[in-house]
Amino acid sequence: MNDLPSLRIGGLTPLTTIDYPGELAAVVFCQGCAWRCTYCQNDHLWPPHGDAELPWSHVLSFLARRRGLLDAVVFSGGEPTLQSALAAAMQQVRGLGLKVGLHTAGPYPHRLARVLPHVDWVGLDVKALPADYDALTTRRGSGVAAWRSLELLLAHGIPHEVRVTVDAAQFPADRLDALLDRLRDAGTPEVVLQPCRDRQGHACVDAALLEGATRAHHHAFRGISVRG
Ligand code: SF4
């Protein structure tokens, strides 16, 4: 295979049913993220280069052998849009006849706009109200970028999912209510709430908070649900 993009990959999940709605997918974990979210469980993917990177050529060969068994490939991370090689890698995945999914936190709206033509579905994390972002990501301006990415996604019309990871330390009930009101006002049709989890997989938030929020806001969205 010629002209392979130099995508840096920190891991691969060969098969999942939960990362691209309704599709059997492989997940490619892109190396590198500039944010430092307080609840991040993928901190091994923060550095631009990982200790055990997988060559894209190997991943692409694996995907080629899985044609007929997989429907899609999801680029996750880390933050996939950090890497300039992403669009070329996505085009090669489509060349195999597979759909392309993207998990992003939206830190680079201009880069998101560039790759959207090569994507079939997006899972966008909206982490907080714009003013609350920087404390969570420890990066200045992160809220402006993420909410601009949401605007882009909604204006584009591409199939997508807006996910809110709820950390009880960040989200007293009134802040979660305010975030959901803001998402409604932005025109978000559907929202998935998911509890923040510790490294042992235990939810860091009371399930009653999430269930109460879905009940209180179910008229505001075409769909609002709790995952896991
Ligand atoms: S954006 Fe995602 S990968 Fe990056 S620090 Fe936050 S949770 Fe971790």
Pocket test for ligand 1, best of 79, 134, 138, 163 (most atoms within 8 A of CB): 79
User: pLDDT at position 3, please?
Assistant: 65
User: pLDDT at position 170, please?
Assistant: 77
Q: Please say whether the beta carbons of 29 and 10 come within 8 A.
A: yes
CA quadruple 17, 21, 25, 26: dihedral positive or negative?
A: negative
Tell me the sheet residues that pair with 123: 103, 161
Closest CA to 108 of 137, 79, 134: 79
105 CA: nearest ligand 1 atom: 1
Distance from chain centroid for Cα 171: 20
Q: Please say whether the beta carbons of 141 and 179 come within 8 A.
A: no
Per-residue buried b or exposed e for 114-133, using 16+ beta carbons within 10 Å of the residue's own CB:
ebbebbbbbbbbbbbbbebb
∠ CA 73-198-209, nearest 5°, is 95
Radius of gyration, alpha carbons of the chain: 17
The 3-state secondary structure of the chain, one letter per residue = CCCCCCCCEEEEEEEECCCCCCCCEEEEEECCCCCCCCCCCCHHHCCCCCCCCECHHHHHHHHHHCECCECEEEEECCCHHHCCCHHHHHHHHHHCCCEEEEEECCCCHHHHHHHHHHCCEEEEECCCCHHHHHHHHCCCCHHHHHHHHHHHHHHHCCCEEEEEEECCCCCCHHHHHHHHHHHHHHCCCEEEEEECECCCCCECCCHHHHHHHHHHHCCCCCEEEECC
Residues within a 6 A CB radius of ligand 1: 33, 35-37, 40, 42, 45, 77-79, 105
Question: What φ, ψ does residue 63 adopt, rounded to 5°?
Answer: -65, -40
Pocket test for ligand 1, best of 40, 103, 136 (most atoms within 8 A of CB): 40
Q: From first to last of the 228 residues of the chain, give the pLDDT tens digit.
A: 556 779 999 999 999 999 999 999 999 999 999 999 988 989 999 999 998 899 999 999 999 999 999 999 999 999 999 999 999 999 999 999 999 999 999 999 999 999 999 999 999 999 999 999 999 999 999 999 999 999 999 999 999 999 999 987 777 888 999 999 999 999 999 999 999 888 778 888 888 889 999 999 999 999 999 987
User: pLDDT at position 134, please?
Assistant: 94
- Tell me the C-alpha to C-alpha distance, in Å, between residue 127 and each of 81, 98, 141, 169, 183: 17, 29, 13, 13, 11
Identify the CATH assignment for 1-158 out of 3.90.550.10, 2.60.40.10, 3.40.309.10, 3.20.20.70: 3.20.20.70
